[in-house]
Amino acid sequence: MRLVSYNVRYFGHALKGLASTATSKQGIADAIASLTPLADVIALQEVETKSIRSTAAHRGAPPAETQLDAFMRHLEATMQRRGVPMPYSAFYFPAHVYGVGPLKVYTTGLAILVNQQTVNVLKGNSDQPFDITHRTERTIRRIKQTRIAAHLHLEDTKGHAFHLFNTHLSLPTPWAKEFWSQKVKMGHGKNQLTEARAVSDYAKHVAHREPYLIVGDFNSAPATPVYELLTREAKLQGAQEVLKQIDAGRPDSFSTAGFMQLRMHLDHIFGRGVEFADLRDTHAFGDEVSRFHGLSDHVPLITCFEPARVS
């Protein structure tokens, strides 16, 4: 199986995240369609439904078209130009809505694309994604962005079942006292630890003894409490660590995201009961060799794996 995990920044990188554009969708569609071999599953973070932000820069789009619908339209057209039948079906997992009444200013969510030629979908939780959000008594629920774990139970053409969990953890909360005393913050927040434990416990419970992967934007670097929780306590293996692409003891050894001159390692692919084979087409943020260069403030992680069995 070939897996892509990618924070697409609401397909709005061309306008610095202010609004999604057809240019961003087309660029990402072109890059995904150019992968050889094509991915079997694609986990996307930061995907909207339909809002002012997702439609402000678009004219002539169908009234009911969501952001994911629009992206799939671009992807299908790209596949057709390449002479390849559109293999992907899309599943959307809504997380949060910012707005007043029926007016949606912007929305948040996750998506998973499945190659129907190589993967069967057995079940999932797109109708009700699992809420992993850390909340306190002081949390203002309208402001605090809901964080979720998206899940699909999948099966390859050989009948090997596995589970995919897609997530996007919160940033470390500035409301905690230790936030202001810590020099390094990403991956050290107590709220992040709570959410990481929630998604890992949920995955372990749902997958039971079948292989599973937890992927996404964890807003956490290696060698941080969040990374240690997932690899040591939850006994997950990081694909980049296993395949020696990173030194897990150095949080700055590889960057998956960037802002101006700042470089961060925030995105990960974790697995249990799977064997990681390669990370072909995975490049650090800023590497101009990557076909995804300049398309988002993150780069995708791309790996091949084989489902085995959870011991």
In the chain, what are the domains? 2-307 (3.60.10.10)
Q: Which residue has the tokens 């991956």?
A: 187
pLDDT of residue 183: 67
CA 94 to chain centre: 13
pLDDT of residue 146: 95
pLDDT of residue 144: 81
pLDDT of residue 174: 63
Specify the pTM.
Answer: 0.94
Q: How many CA atoms lie within 13 A of 157 on its CB side?
A: 6
pLDDT of residue 140: 62
pLDDT of residue 175: 61
pLDDT of residue 99: 85
C-alpha 262/C-alpha 251 separation (Å) is 13
Q: Which residue has the tokens 């306190």?
A: 136
| CB-count exposure of residue 57 (10 Å: 0-12, 13-18, 19+) | middle
pLDDT of residue 36: 97
C-alpha distances (whole Å) from 41 to each of 3, 21, 110, 153, 213 are 5, 24, 13, 12, 11
* Crossing angle of the two packed helices 22-33 and 67-81, in degrees rounded to 10: 50
Q: Which residue has the tokens 């991915």?
A: 39
C-alpha 73/C-alpha 67 separation (Å) is 10
pLDDT of residue 101: 79
pLDDT of residue 98: 85
Low-confidence ranges of the chain (pLDDT < 50): none
pLDDT of residue 138: 64
Name the 3-class secondary structure at 16: coil
C-alpha 204/C-alpha 188 separation (Å) is 23
C-alpha 241/C-alpha 168 separation (Å) is 20
pLDDT of residue 53: 83
